[in-house]
């Protein structure tokens, strides 16, 4: 800028507003519209008119013919002085300021102080339409907010709630609606507003979307079963034992001639490494179990074809564990097989524990459990709950601690241990499951002791290097019995299958890559399951506002008392005036529910 032109009483632009020069030199003293005096550098201002301007109040509005001037200049270039003369008939401080306002408004003119551009007719039409649309949108928004505050929304207002929904699903970080209502902009408050307005009802579960969990059913095409030799084990009585309503049976048990057979769905036969089916399962990591239903990690056709007992004869990878009188494994066999499976529930097996083969399987389970206890395995017995949602109705069903569950669990652990030992002996890289030794808890009995014991457990880790699993009391362990449900179980089967066929194995680095891929997605899926279970539990309580039940004191930290409610699977923290002992049973009543905050409140009665 030519600083010589900046003389006292010049009109300048400072931060897009007019200012009057009081003193010029190496620095300028200027007067602002509010009368404040300010010293600035010459480069901080732009000259609008050399003056003289004796007072900023003299910059009164001017009448002019803007459209005629624009029509003369359309598509061309001009200067501020020429624009002021064309529109207002003279170049004076007031017309210079008003002409610059026309440029700043941007409808007919644009550009800079040095060169002003007159927009074309097409540009003006487009800009005018955009401004009219914006004005209409602002008017519609204003009307919407008025109806919102009055609690009188109409159908057309639903479109304005889209950004509130996006915040409730954690897809954006702010909401104009919440801001203008003066509410905290968070997913929880957005959820609360949507429920308050009736836009969402209590059955809307936001957690899978918040955690970016894929709830679509996998669509990868399955190949046909390969034509290969399988050992015919259809003469064995094989039983897939699971909860009532289970739809993905991927393991079954047989007992024959002092041999425990654990038959597992042969998923690797249809999902070799890096196939489309394998890649889709890897991207999911595991099944997603929600009370509303299960989202499988594999296409539904995989369960239909491979689920044990869903067809008359099923393909399996069978682990044969020959045991001695003490229950010790003396020989392990692994073979692709054909099996004929009968499906039973835990409850049905519980009534048949004195019959063969369940009597023999139960004895084997007891021996296995005793061996693991002797190796400092951790056994936690806390209430478990099955939550189901059907037609919007929530049911909570406590799971009885049946011996038949132990029968199956111990057989699965034996298979996982045998697979790990076999892999180590044959130098087969696998994803091993390990767990560090827990801290020794204080000696407390009852549910409080189990609660404290659970807190001491370290998180189990999947790794390419074998190490003890302290919680299970095993020196080596690999999860191998749920390849329909867990991706790393499928990887174990891919490795065993390759070994048995003499095909190339995945190396240790490839195993670690698969472990990393699975862990990167399974955490969010498990979080979605946990939060969803709590959501539906609170929905149940909203439908039962008069709920009463018992809670057991399991932890005390000053006045904060953690109470376990077996019938709800909740562990609320209460502030109690008295000081109940651990394991004290309290009669509780529901006092409130905040669904968006996932909180239920109880009081002692």
Chain centroid to Cα 320, Å, comes to 40
**pLDDT number for residue 164:** 96
114 pLDDT exceeds 90? no
Could you give phi then psi for residue 295, rounded to 5 degrees? Answer: -105, 110
Whether the Cβ atoms of residue 223 and residue 209 lie closer than 8 Å to each other: no
Question: Which pLDDT tens digit goes with each residue over 345-365?
Answer: 999 999 999 999 999 999 999
pLDDT grade, residue 579 (50/70/90)?
confident
Whether the Cβ atoms of residue 588 and residue 600 lie closer than 8 Å to each other: no
Helix ranges (DSSP H) in 106-236:
121-150, 162-168, 176-181, 187-196, 207-210
Counting Cα atoms < 13 Å in the Cβ hemisphere of 131 gives: 10
End-to-end Cα separation, the chain, in angstroms:
81
Question: Which pLDDT tens digit goes with each residue over 158-208?
Answer: 889 999 999 999 999 999 999 999 999 999 999 999 999 999 999 999 999
DSSP state of 551: E
Whether the Cβ atoms of residue 277 and residue 299 lie closer than 8 Å to each other: yes
Helix (H, G, I), strand (E, B) or coil at 395: strand
Across the range 549-573, mean pLDDT stands at: 95
Could you give phi then psi for residue 441, rounded to 5 degrees? Answer: -80, 165
Share of the chain above pLDDT 90, in %: 88
For 237-255, give the secondary structure using H, E and C: CEEEEECCCCCCCCEEEEE
486 pLDDT exceeds 80? yes
Instruction: Quote the CA–CA distance of 351 and 361 in Å, as a whole number.
Output: 14
- Domains of the chain by start residue, with CATH: 3-121 (2.30.30.140), 122-200 (1.10.10.10), 231-529 (no CATH), 544-604 (2.40.50.140)
39 pLDDT exceeds 70? yes
The DSSP annotation for 283-313 comes to HH-B-EEETTEEE-SS-HHHHHHHSTTTSSS
The closest of 410, 431, 411, 522 to 476, measured between CA atoms, is 431
Instruction: Quote the CA–CA distance of 260 and 238 in Å, as a whole number.
Output: 11
306 pLDDT exceeds 90? yes
Cα Rg for the chain, rounded, in angstroms?
37
4 or 423: whose pLDDT is higher? 423
393 pLDDT exceeds 60? yes
**pLDDT number for residue 4:** 56
Instruction: Quote the CA–CA distance of 309 and 317 in Å, as a whole number.
Output: 14
Residues with Cβ within 8 Å of 540's Cβ and at least 6 positions away in sequence, in order, are 394, 395, 396, 568
Q: Tell me the whole-structure pTM to 2 decimals.
A: 0.84
Whether the Cβ atoms of residue 187 and residue 170 lie closer than 8 Å to each other: yes
| Farthest-apart Cα atoms in the chain, separation | 113
Q: How far is CA 248 from CA 186, 216, 471, in A?
A: 38, 17, 27
Sequence length of the chain is 605
Instruction: Quote the CA–CA distance of 140 and 160 in Å, as a whole number.
Output: 9
Instruction: Quote the CA–CA distance of 417 and 409 in Å, as a whole number.
Output: 12
Helix (H, G, I), strand (E, B) or coil at 411: helix
The helix (H) or strand (E) run that includes residue 350 is helix 346-350
Residue 500, Cβ neighbours under 10 Å: how many? Answer: 12
Whether the Cβ atoms of residue 339 and residue 263 lie closer than 8 Å to each other: yes
Instruction: Quote the CA–CA distance of 449 and 471 in Å, as a whole number.
Output: 16
Question: Which pLDDT tens digit goes with each residue over 500-554?
Answer: 999 999 999 999 999 999 999 999 999 999 999 999 999 999 999 999 999 999 9
Question: Which pLDDT tens digit goes with each residue over 316-336?
Answer: 999 999 999 888 889 999 999
Residue 98, Cβ neighbours under 10 Å: how many? Answer: 21
Across the range 410-424, mean pLDDT stands at: 97
Residues with Cβ within 8 Å of 329's Cβ and at least 6 positions away in sequence, in order, are 321, 322, 323, 414, 418
Across the chain, what does the average pLDDT equal? 94
**pLDDT number for residue 325:** 86
Which contacts (CB < 8 Å, 24+ apart) does range 393-398 have?
Answer: 394/291, 394/536, 394/537, 394/539, 394/540, 394/543, 395/540, 396/537, 396/540, 396/567, 396/568, 396/569, 398/566, 398/567
Q: How far is CA 165 from CA 140, 372, 598, in A?
A: 19, 50, 18
């Amino acid at each position: 800028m030519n600083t010589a032109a900046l003389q006292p009483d010049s009109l300048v632009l400072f931060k897009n507003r007019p200012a009057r020069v009081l003193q010029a030199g190496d620095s300028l003293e200027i007067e602002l519209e509010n009368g404040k005096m300010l010293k600035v550098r010459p480069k901080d201002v732009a000259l609008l008119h050399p003056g003289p301007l004796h007072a900023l109040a003299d910059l009164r509005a001017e009448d002019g013919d803007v459209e005629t001037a624009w029509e003369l200049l359309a598509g061309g270039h001009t200067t501020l002085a020429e624009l002021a003369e064309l529109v207002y008939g003279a170049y004076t401080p007031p017309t210079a300021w008003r002409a610059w306002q026309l440029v700043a408004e941007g409808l007919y003119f644009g550009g800079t102080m040095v060169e002003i551009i007159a927009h074309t007719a097409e540009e003006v039409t487009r800009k005018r339409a955009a401004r009219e649309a914006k004005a209409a949108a602002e008017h519609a928004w204003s009307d919407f907010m008025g109806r919102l505050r009055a609690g009188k929304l109409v159908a057309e207002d639903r479109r304005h709630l889209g950004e509130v929904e996006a915040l409730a699903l954690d897809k954006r970080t702010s909401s104009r609606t919440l801001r203008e209502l003066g509410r905290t902009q968070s997913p929880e408050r957005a959820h609360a507003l949507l429920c308050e307005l009736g836009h969402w009802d209590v059955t809307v579960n936001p957690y899978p979307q918040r955690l970016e969990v894929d709830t679509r059913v996998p669509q990868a095409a399955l190949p046909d079963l390969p034509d290969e030799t399988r050992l015919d084990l259809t003469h064995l009585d094989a039983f897939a034992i699971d909860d009532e309503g289970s739809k993905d049976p991927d393991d079954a048990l047989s007992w024959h001639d002092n041999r425990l057979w654990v038959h597992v769905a042969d998923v690797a036969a249809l999902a070799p490494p890096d196939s489309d089916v394998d890649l889709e399962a890897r991207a999911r990591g595991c099944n997603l179990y929600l009370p509303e239903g299960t989202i499988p990690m594999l296409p539904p056709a995989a369960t239909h074809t491979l689920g044990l007992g869903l067809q008359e004869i099923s393909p399996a990878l069978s682990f044969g564990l020959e045991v001695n009188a003490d229950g010790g494994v003396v020989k392990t066999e692994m073979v692709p097989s054909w099996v004929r499976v009968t499906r039973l529930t835990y409850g049905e097996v519980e009534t048949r524990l004195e019959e063969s083969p369940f009597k023999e399987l139960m004895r084997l389970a007891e021996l296995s459990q005793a061996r693991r206890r002797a190796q400092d395995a951790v056994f936690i017995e806390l209430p478990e709950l099955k939550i189901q949602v059907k037609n919007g109705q929530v049911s909570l069903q406590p799971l009885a601690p049946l011996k038949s569950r132990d029968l199956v669990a111990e057989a699965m652990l034996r298979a996982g241990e045998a697979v790990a030992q076999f892999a180590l002996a044959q130098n087969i890289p696998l994803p091993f499951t390990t767990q560090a030794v827990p801290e020794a808890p204080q000696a407390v009995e009852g549910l409080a002791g189990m609660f404290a014991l659970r807190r001491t457990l370290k998180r189990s880790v999947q790794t390419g290097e074998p190490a003890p699993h302290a919680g299970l009391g095993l020196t080596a362990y690999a999860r191998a019995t749920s390849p329909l449900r867990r991706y790393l179980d499928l990887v174990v089967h891919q490795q065993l299958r390759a070994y048995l066929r003499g095909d190339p194995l995945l190396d240790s680095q490839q195993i670690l890559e698969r472990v990393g891929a699975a862990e990167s997605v399974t955490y969010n899926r498990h979080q979605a399951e946990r939060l969803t279970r709590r959501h539906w539990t609170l929905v149940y309580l909203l439908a039962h506002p008069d709920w009463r039940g018992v809670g057991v004191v399991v932890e005390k930290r000053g006045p904060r008392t953690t109470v376990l409610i077996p019938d709800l699977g909740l562990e609320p923290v209460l502030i109690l005036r008295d000081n109940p002992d651990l394991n004290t049973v309290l009669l509780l009543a529901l006092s409130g529910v905040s669904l968006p905050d996932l909180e239920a409140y109880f009081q002692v009665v």
